[in-house]
Amino acid sequence: MSWQVQVEVTRDGRRHLRASFERSPITFGARPDNDVVLADPHVSGLHAVVMVSRAELVVQDESRNGSFVGERRIVGQHQLGRHGVLRIPPFAIELTFEPGDEQRQTVQRRVEPPAEGPGAAPAAADGEPATPSLAELSLVHDAPPSAAPESPHATVAVRELTDEPPPAVLEVISGPEHLVGQCFELPVVGAAEIGRSEEADVRIADRTVSRLHAVITRQRDGGYRISDLDSANGVLVDGRRVRFAALHDGDAITVGQVVLTLRWPTLLASGTAGDQP
């Protein structure tokens, strides 16, 4: 099962609608082209956007009359976590992020008796091999903390190798000389934040790039979608400024004065990933 965002909307204490989404971002507003339509004169055409970033929900306000968490009005963005209630008066929207099976899987270590004799690999203190075999495993991004086993030892979250397409790559093709040519692998599951901050997954050390500038999210169909994180200089895809957009092989993504291009592996180039929003 893929990850999901569960949405339940109430109005005056009565349920208005319930829906689930397996993609990000999710738009809320009065316009009929929104993912969740909130028909009320107090609601803006595009009122708020909910995104999934690092397996948590992020709310971005786009409205005139405001979006609220509790009594606090959201200014720009708000980290909601995995569950919370967003208020867009007169509506209350309960949001829940449910991780998928791939994110719940944890490494199953193959325990072997320590080899004996000269040249044997050193054993760890608990008797397990110092370097367990991960030949059939690969890393999973954004594995939730709740998936960790109750153990004092550190573990690595992984997923079993499948025949799903490999991840795409971002390559810097224009900008400061020290950045050009850098490549960043996008996640197989979850999202990657682009920004100047050391916390960003795709770190672009340039003053024209915001600390957290944009987020790219892997979609259920294997494609990717980019969302602007309320950046100072915006996000352009093939020269067009966007708040969010599906990405395709060869797209030029501009953040500040830095241009990156999306490279699909051969397996993806002929697929259907990245359909238009």
Q: Is residue 127 part of a domain?
A: no
User: pLDDT-derived band of residue 93, with 50, 70 and 90 as boundaries?
Assistant: very high
Q: What percent of the chain shows pLDDT beyond 70?
A: 71
- 157 within domain boundaries: no
Q: Is the CB of residue 28 less than 8 Å from the CB of residue 35?
A: yes
- Whole domain around residue 59: which residue ranges? 3-99
How many Å apart are CA 23 and CA 219, to the nearest integer? 6
Residue 125 covered by a domain: no
CA dihedral 143, 87, 76, 7 (to 10 degrees): 30
Residue bearing the bigger pLDDT, 64 or 146 = 64
pLDDT-derived band at 6, boundaries 50, 70, 90: very high
Contact 220, 238 (CB under 8 A): no
Residue with tokens 């005139």: 64
Confidence of residue 151 (pLDDT cuts 50, 70, 90): very low
pLDDT confidence of 155, banded at 50, 70, 90?
Answer: very low
CATH number at residue 54: 2.60.200.20
Whether residue 228 lies inside any domain: the answer is yes
20 confidence band (pLDDT: 50, 70, 90): very high
Cβ atoms < 10 Å from Cβ of 225 = 20
Query: pTM here?
Result: 0.50
Residue where a domain stops, chosen among 71, 99, 127: 99
**Kind of pairing between the strands at 91-98 and 4-11:** antiparallel
Assign 164 a pLDDT band (cuts: 50, 70, 90): low
Question: Among 166, 273, 265, which Cα is nearest to 221's?
Answer: 273
What is the chain's mean pLDDT, rounded?
A: 76
Which of the listed ranges 51-60, 120-129, 174-183 does the model predict with the highest average pLDDT?
174-183
What are 16's two structure tokens?
């208005």
Residue 101 pLDDT exceeds 70? no
Task: Assess whether pLDDT exceeds 60 at residue 208.
Answer: yes
Determine the pLDDT at residue 29: 92
Bigger pLDDT: 73 vs 166? 73
Mean pLDDT of 161-179: 79
> Does 59 score more than 70 pLDDT?
yes
Asked which of 28-42, 99-113, 252-266 is least confident by mean pLDDT, the reply is 99-113
Is the pLDDT at 260 greater than 60? The verdict is yes
User: Which residue in this structure is represented by tokens 């241009």?
Assistant: 259
CB atoms within 10 A of CB 2: 15
The domain tally of the chain equals 2
Last residue within a domain, chosen from 54, 75, 99:
99
Cα 88–chain centre separation: 24
Residue 64 lies in a domain: yes
Residues 9 and 93 both lie in one domain: yes
Give me the mean pLDDT over the 109-130 stretch.
42
- Residue 156 in this model has a pLDDT that exceeds 70: no
pLDDT at 247: 92
Q: Among 70, 99, 128, which residue terminates a domain?
A: 99
Whether the CB-CB separation of 214 and 226 falls below 8 Å is answered with yes
How much of the chain, in percent, has pLDDT values that exceed 90? 44
DSSP E strands, 3-145: 4-11, 14-21, 26-29, 36-37, 48-53, 56-61, 68-69, 72-73, 77-81, 83-88, 91-98, 137-139
